[in-house]
Amino acid sequence: MVAVLDTNHFTELVRDSSVGQRLRVRLKDRQVSAFTTVVNAQEITEGWCALINRQSAGELQVKAYAQFQHSLELMMELNLFPFDSASAVLFHKLHATHRHIGTMDLKIASICMTHDTLLLSRNLLDFEKVPGLRVENWLD
């Protein structure tokens, strides 16, 4: 089985929280090939850069850079689905009828639907509104 980790699922793995540890076990037990998307990579990178940039340059950034590096290393262990032409076409169709759902979420949904894969996300409220998208929350 192939599943895409949304940013919130990926973040729990990076933090190695108890929820993240349970997720890791569940992925292994169900023999899931874990992917993420280039859009999630953008969200994750922008989040870490914002955190790093809010701190004074130097010693105060050491921990944040270490966490960012750990996140990048874990991300490199995953395959990334692209936001390609097929995803963009589907995104435009979805965006025309689901303007209340965030742009990044619609891009992620488009990628998952283009590749016919399950999305693992805590954001069921928005993602369940996208017809044809398979989405589950494995954290709660």
For residue 1, the one-letter residue type is M
Confidence (pTM): 0.91
The average confidence (pLDDT) of the chain is 95
- pLDDT of 99: 82
CA distance 24 to 21: 5
CATH no. for 2-136 = 3.40.50.1010
Q: Of the candidates 59, 74, 56, which has an alpha carbon nearest to the alpha carbon of residue 11?
A: 74
**Tens digits of per-residue pLDDT, 76-124?**
999 999 999 999 999 999 999 988 899 999 999 999 999 999 999 999 9
Q: Where exactly are the structural domains of the chain?
A: 2-136
Write phi, then psi, for 2 (nearest 5 degrees). -110, 135
Beta bridge partners of 80: 36
